[in-house]
A and B are shown apart, each in its own frame.
Chain A
């Protein structure tokens, strides 16, 4: 349904997206994951036709976005990162404008507005100026405008950013519901977000795809590891050297002022660490378990890929 071949985008000298390719089949719900500045928004803007790629081709529902941009765009519902609202229009007037812009006639527009207002639960806010809505409701109006013409493809850029936790849950359910009969690509920089909604994940970092897999497979790569963060009063070189000698630890690194240790889930290196500290006469100031952050996952996936090559 969405096919991207060798997409590259430069902003002047700066390379934002570097030769990426992927395919999204009809009906798939795919998470597009990456830290800020990874190139997610740029890729989505290229798919929706807002930006022209420097190089590469994009097809949406078999329309080439370069040659057939209008037909291509008609297949897409798009929620940009900044929710596009005319703040001086009511929800109804705004949705009517978007519907008509998308080619619906007056009657169809009216019918669809009623439908999307029900889907997005906006009934009470239909006559409120969009500028007066809270962030969560703005988001829903944003979703409503994206689905007003009943598109086959939905592109959602960070649909849950900046709204309160309860609304995040509702929005996720809404997206899940929408995903039953549509192809969805949604971006986020929060890992747990995709677990609930997406079947497949594409991870992008510094403009390149570092991983593309089902949620289950990705989790198995990342799980089975534990991490500890230590603060030790002692000379860095010596402490690092001694820590590296402990067999149970698979990785030792120092990021001022912490030592980061990594080891398989079935190992218990704490005793050995204690013994080492006593031997050296160093004091342990703190020790805590850390979760893998998205940033760490990227580093891991990137280095894993480099090893493979």
Chain B
């Protein structure tokens, strides 16, 4: 446990001293803000919700998860620090969880900054707070899934760009299973939809907390974190 926090702390330090996290956050906020205000304008300010932010936010979380996680393991391999880490008395899962936790904190920080949107709505209008709470829960859960997929991709290659591309491939592939599932007749279509990252999000936007959705996102996160640990372990046997 102590080592998980130690690795998390180190990664946070790297995030805060490198420009990457700031650039990602700035662009995330700019694009979310643009989407948020455009939507409000489109509805002539009749729908005081954060729907505009959420529509863009889901996809931005996928994209920026791939970018935040791409260096996590890839860079260590390139620097040679990976060898130091794997010969220190640390377990593989401690490394993976520490790194995951640090990304989650950064993502959480980004989402905290977007609270600006609902606060603005509360001051200027009368938004329904229920769906806003559940939407943030949904974004965090989606973030857990996306980040763990990103970490898995990073564990596969020493090349950050390749890592980001793999993560993007898996993330957007899982995302578009939803629309594909809608085209295919049931029960296959239903199954495809269930495995899609996009299928479970609208519920949170409507203010519904569906246990299946929570289980889905957490399972995806757990599966890919597990795969990351396995990927590191098998490396020793190669």
Chain A neighbourhood of B86, CB < 8 A? 49-50
Q: Is the CB of B14 within 8 A of A88?
A: yes
Seen from chain A, the residues whose Cβ lies within 8 Å of a Cβ on chain B are 11-12, 45, 48-52, 70-71, 73-74, 76, 78, 80, 82-89, 93, 97-98, 100-103, 145
Q: Is the CB of A50 within 8 A of B87?
A: yes
Seen from chain B, the residues whose Cβ lies within 8 Å of a Cβ on chain A are 3, 6-7, 10, 13-14, 17-18, 79-91, 236-238
Cross-chain pair count, CB within 8 angstroms: 73
Given that A98-B84, A102-B89 are known contacts, is A87 also in contact with B236, CB under 8 Å in the complex? no
Q: How far is the CA of A70 from the CA of B13 in the complex (A)?
A: 26
Q: How far is the CA of A49 from the CA of B235 in the complex (A)?
A: 12
Chain B neighbourhood of A85, CB < 8 A? 79-81
8 tightest A-B CB contacts, nearest first: A82-B80, A84-B84, A84-B81, A48-B87, A70-B89, A80-B83, A74-B89, A52-B236
Q: How far is the CA of A78 from the CA of B13 in the complex (A)?
A: 24
Q: How far is the CA of A71 from the CA of B88 in the complex (A)?
A: 10
- Chosen A-B contacts, 28 in total, with CB atoms closer than 8 Å, are A12-B238, A45-B83, A49-B87, A51-B236, A70-B89, A70-B91, A71-B89, A73-B87, A73-B89, A78-B87, A80-B80, A80-B84, A80-B87, A84-B79, A84-B80, A84-B81, A84-B84, A85-B79, A86-B10, A86-B14, A86-B79, A86-B81, A88-B17, A93-B13, A97-B10, A98-B84, A101-B88, A145-B84
Nearest chain B CB to A110's CB is how many angstroms away?
Answer: 15
Chain B neighbourhood of A89, CB < 8 A? 13-14
Given that A97-B6, A102-B89 are known contacts, is A52 also in contact with B237, CB under 8 Å in the complex? yes
Beyond A48-B87, A83-B80, A103-B89, 12 extra complex contacts between A and B, CB < 8 Å: A12-B238, A49-B87, A50-B87, A78-B84, A80-B84, A84-B84, A84-B85, A86-B10, A88-B17, A97-B10, A98-B88, A101-B3
Q: How far is the CA of A125 from the CA of B178 in the complex (A)?
A: 55
Q: Is the CB of A101 within 8 A of B236?
A: no
Q: How far is the CA of A45 from the CA of B13 in the complex (A)?
A: 29
Q: Is the CB of A82 within 8 A of B89?
A: no
Q: Which residue of A lies closest to B84 (CB)?
A: A84
Q: Which residue of B lies closest to A157 (CB)?
A: B83
